[in-house]
Structure 1
Amino acid sequence: MIHMTTIGNMLDDTASKYQEKEALVYHERGLRYTFGEFQAICNQAARGFMSLGIQKGENIAIWATNVPEWVISQFATAKMGGVLVTVNTSYRVHELEYLLRQSESTTLLLMDSYRDANYLAMIQEICPELQTCEPGALQSKRLPHLKNVIYLGDEQQPGMFLWSDLLERATWVTEEERNARQAMLSPDDVINMQYTSGTTGFPKGVMLSHVNIVNNAIKVAECQRLGLADKVCIPVPFFHCFGCVMGTLACVATGATMVPVIVFDPGVVLAVVEAERCTALYGVPTMFISELNHPSFAERDLSSLRTGIMAGSLCPIEVMKKVVDQMGIRDITIAYGQTEASPVITQTVPEDSLERKVSTVGRLHAEVEAKIIDPATGDILPPGVQGELCTRGYLVMKGYYNMPEETVKAIDHEGWLHTGDLATVDEEGYYRITGRLKDMIIRGGENIYPREVEEFLYTHPKVLDVQIIGVPDVKYGEQVLACIRVKPHETLSEDEVRDYCEGKIAHYKIPRYIQFVDEYPMTASGKIQKFKLREQALELFGQSNPNQTGTA
């Protein structure tokens, strides 16, 4: 069954049934909202956004960790028709400017900093006009669409609204006006935009509708058997579908309690699970590995845990066994998908055997079609034969924002989304992800697109040529290797390359390994053979992990 509803209506429906049930708990901050209270704060923030003159369909970017304002903004924008544009917390100046410009965002919400990245300094570098403009009246030379910047902090910043200002401005708009706006929205409207890269190397805005992500959240919840009694610990970032679809939306769809962790820290996750008696835990394999190996692990009472999702990267068998045996998450599920598919295509269920959970990515969600095709001919392949996985149904994105040519490459004329992933399916409908047509690297759940890193490193004055490939890694799944040809009569060191990257591209994209080469293996027609570079790299840096399976 496909649910034809909006995110705002879904929240209202859940809140009407379970007014006093806990909806959102921030253990670290002592913050707790019932569904009634959460609905009220989301409505207030929605009126605040409307008071800024933001219209239905305008893009509102948010750049922050899993703070309370993030999840409130997610539902508030969905109620007033703003499209939430999620910004990776690891982005630096170059990436942020590109995203804000390409998305044509009119509003940006941001926190002060994250790790070693000063968000305020970066937006002020891009928009020096903030120093002299009134809040809401930004006229940026580099970002002509951006008008409003909202600071998720307590100290007044030049040219910016505070979050408290937004909530106070809610009185400028009546609840009747907000209700009328919510009633205007269609389930097929785009309401969420997440940036992902591809073969072009330039991030693309994946446009997702209410129907896309509401229904995917419901299916994800069903596979875990989530219900009113469940409390879901969400340490995965909200800016990914893992956090804001499989996490927050799945909880609101079922009446489960959202228990976010603001920034992933294994000790904090363990403490929150114990204190709040969480029944479900999400994470990429590296997160589970960190939790299992944390000094406090043996002391923690995790007996409340029942289910959860491991996704986002390769899943080692031994890790899965420990998650089941030592953490007690007997009903853990594995999910596979991609942002363009809202995101989950296949998922295991509690009844699946451990062998199924570690060797496959489960079966198709209900209401989802898939086929394995020969990439060269497009012919459908029989069970057990490797080919490209394609999917069709409610879950396929509306397209890439302002990139019609890229959209046509991804979604064919029959509505099939071509994932670019190689897979097989067995006679019982279980899928295995066996490789990638494209050379995407998945490091600890983060997608890294070689062309994007290559384009950046080409800007180094000493780099003649560069090829980025993935090398297997036990902890992170894959690491980035840069094979660099240096310009004649120049010398370049590994430290120089990494120093050049620091502060300019996200930390997880900075090459872990650097190899200086005189030439690349080439085909007769002059194309670089990346697979040969990868084989050479395996001998030098990698260690194969045969007992792994790909996940979302």
Structure 2
Amino acid sequence: MSNSSKDSSDPNMLVSVNPAYQLKEVEFSLRKVGCKAIVCPTQFRTQKYCDMLTQICPEIESSTPGDIRSARLPDLRSVITLGNRQPGMFHLEDVMQAGSSQYMQQLQDLQKKLSCDDPINIQFTSGTTGAPKGATLSHHSIINNAQFVGNRLGYNWRPHIRVCLPVPLYHCFGSVGGGLCMALHGVSLVFPSAGYDGKANLAAMESERCTVIYGTPTMYVDMVNHPDLAKHDLSSVETGIMAGAPCPPELVKKVIYVMGIKEITIGYGTTENSPVTFFSSPTDNLERKCETTGYIIDHLEAKIVNPTTGEVVPLGMTGEIMIRGHCVMKGYWGDKDKTEECITKDRFYKTGDIGSMDAYSYLKIEGRIKDLIIRGGENIYPAEIEQFLHTHSKVKEAQVVGVEDSRLGEEICACIKLVDGEVCTAEEIKAYCKGQMAYFKIPHYIIFMTSYPITTTGKIQKNKLRVVAEKQLGLKDK
């Protein structure tokens, strides 16, 4: 999807939208950025994108392509579809055939106006207030990130690099680490399947003789535990990246010893930081790969501070991780207050994560200040789900926590207090959520409670609630 300012001569920006978003999430995101043009398939799997757009903007069907006028999306003018032709929408073939030297001249004129500090990409990340926030990234931030990630992996000297890329392109991991590395370093990308498929990853690595594999920890869990793993020849795979969620040491060891990827690397970052800020070297020893997330990316600054005082703590001590440099986003699109909450006046980004650094800048993550749940690499904030659950007539109060899961890292658990006298089932709650939020946000576990652990001031203690939930679900020893 692309978005531009009111002035059509200004550069456009790519707005990456999660294809699992449901109607409300899509409308919010498009309105937030003032989206002028949308590029999408007619449908993918169960998601019917053109139908969703006509539900939001019924005016599309009676519009002339390129001149949509919608009450709910007032900035939208064009929809370009890759599937069947639809009323009021361009087909990709129409756009390709319309190309001429006139437009090439426009592009060349536009290049002269571009600055490296201009925004080029808006990546949505869920917010603690429940609404997605648009992290606005510049040319400077994403180009440098791809350059230095590629350099550390050896893309500047390894011959015939072929990257197996099962991670989604609507996240920075795939778009920057994959797409931009292809453009900057000339590496080949192999897309194993249209949608995620663990077995397809193994097949693609073997058939295409891939030398690099990207994945979240969940993806590596699937590959390591696949019953056909031993049947696939992965001898061509030299290195890879595991990132997007905490990487369990035992999983790292299995990737090295079972899959044979001895030069696997570990990365840490956030969407707001374009995304990688710490990254290990392919030649790091086993201890560093298992116990740390690598060392600081070139030309970035990092500091560990006391979350209360903001003072830098001694080496090896824990505190909040803060980042400054080329990677830091310009801000959250159209949200000055949220931007000022997480970027200091001297341009340090407050990650909200707790960790420690050694003298060589290797980072060890200890936990999170935020209530963020990371489910299979997807960042999920409980507030968004809690607010929706509160719209159910039988729900008196809802608290959402992440509980341990061996495959996904964390699963979503909703701890619900019912209205007095009401009776409800877990299936009823899940059915209520279906179609109203992305599938990965729907709670996997539903627990009905009569009270929550609280502080003396009445604040809910989510760390204790998580322990209670895991015990009740039998995920931890009582």
For the pair 1:278 / 2:278, whether they are aligned, the reply is no
Give the 5 Å matches for 1:211-230. 211-227=140-156, 228-230=159-161
Residues 216-260 of structure 1: CA deviation (Å, up to 9, x unaligned): 001111121114521111110000000000111112211111222
Amino-acid identity (%): 44
For the pair 1:136 / 2:83, whether they are aligned, the reply is no
Residue of structure 1 equivalent to 2:139: 210
Residue of structure 2 equivalent to 1:190: 119
Residues 281-313 of structure 1: CA deviation (Å, up to 9, x unaligned): 000111112122334322222111111100011
Residue of structure 2 equivalent to 1:167: 96
Residue of structure 2 equivalent to 1:85: 15
Alignment match of 2:183 (pick from 242, 252, 256): 252
1:172, CA displacement in angstroms? 7.0
Residue of structure 2 equivalent to 1:201: 130
Residues 362-386 of structure 1: CA deviation (Å, up to 9, x unaligned): 1101101011111111111112211
**Cα distance in structure 2, aligned partners of 1:531 and 1:456:** 22
Residue of structure 2 equivalent to 1:268: 200
SS at the partner of 1:159? coil
Question: Which one-letter code corresponds to 2:48 in the other structure?
Answer: N
Alignment match of 1:336 (pick from 254, 259, 268): 268
Residue of structure 1 equivalent to 2:332: 400
Contact 1:305 1:327 (8 Å CA) reproduced: no
Residues 383-431 of structure 1: CA deviation (Å, up to 9, x unaligned): 2211100010111100010101111001011111000001111233211
Residues 468-512 of structure 1: CA deviation (Å, up to 9, x unaligned): 111011110000010111112222110100000111101111111
Residue of structure 2 equivalent to 1:237: 168
Alignment match of 2:351 (pick from 390, 414, 419): 419
1:463, CA displacement in angstroms? 1.1
SS at the partner of 1:100? helix
**Cα distance in structure 1, aligned partners of 2:64 and 2:423:** 49
Question: Which one-letter code corresponds to 1:457 in the other structure?
Answer: L
**Cα distance in structure 1, aligned partners of 2:445 and 2:267:** 29
Question: Which one-letter code corresponds to 1:365 in the other structure?
Answer: I
Deviates more, 1:204-213 or 1:298-307: 298-307
SS at the partner of 1:324? helix
**TM-score calculated relative to the size of structure 1:** 0.83
**Cα distance in structure 2, aligned partners of 1:334 and 1:409:** 28
The unaligned stretches of length 5 or more in structure 1 are: 1-45, 58-80, 546-552
Alignment match of 2:442 (pick from 510, 522, 528): 510
**Cα distance in structure 1, aligned partners of 2:225 and 2:306:** 42
Give the 5 Å matches for 1:142-541. 142-153=72-83, 155-171=84-100, 173-227=102-156, 228-261=159-192, 262-541=194-473
Question: How many residues end up aligned between the 2 structures?
Answer: 473
SS at the partner of 1:108? strand
**Cα distance in structure 2, aligned partners of 1:380 and 1:538:** 35
Question: Which one-letter code corresponds to 2:186 in the other structure?
Answer: G
1:115, CA displacement in angstroms? 3.0
SS at the partner of 1:114? coil
Residue of structure 2 equivalent to 1:6: none
Q: 1:172 to 1:519 in 2, by over 3 A?
A: farther
Give the 5 Å matches for 1:10-89. 55=8, 57=10, 81-89=11-19
Deviates more, 1:318-327 or 1:457-466: 318-327
1:54, CA displacement in angstroms? 8.3
**Cα distance in structure 1, aligned partners of 2:114 and 2:472:** 55
Q: 1:56 to 1:489 in 2, by over 3 A?
A: farther
SS at the partner of 1:173? helix
**Cα distance in structure 1, aligned partners of 2:304 and 2:427:** 44
Contact 1:342 1:397 (8 Å CA) reproduced: yes
SS at the partner of 1:376? coil
Contact 1:462 1:492 (8 Å CA) reproduced: yes
Residue of structure 2 equivalent to 1:76: none
Q: Which has the higher contact order (CA 8 A, sep 6+)?
A: 1
Contact 1:340 1:396 (8 Å CA) reproduced: yes
The unaligned stretches of length 5 or more in structure 2 are: none
Question: Which one-letter code corresponds to 2:420 in the other structure?
Answer: P
How large is the Cα RMSD of the aligned pairs? 2.0
**Cα distance in structure 2, aligned partners of 1:420 and 1:496:** 34
Q: 1:284 to 1:518 in 2, by over 3 A?
A: same
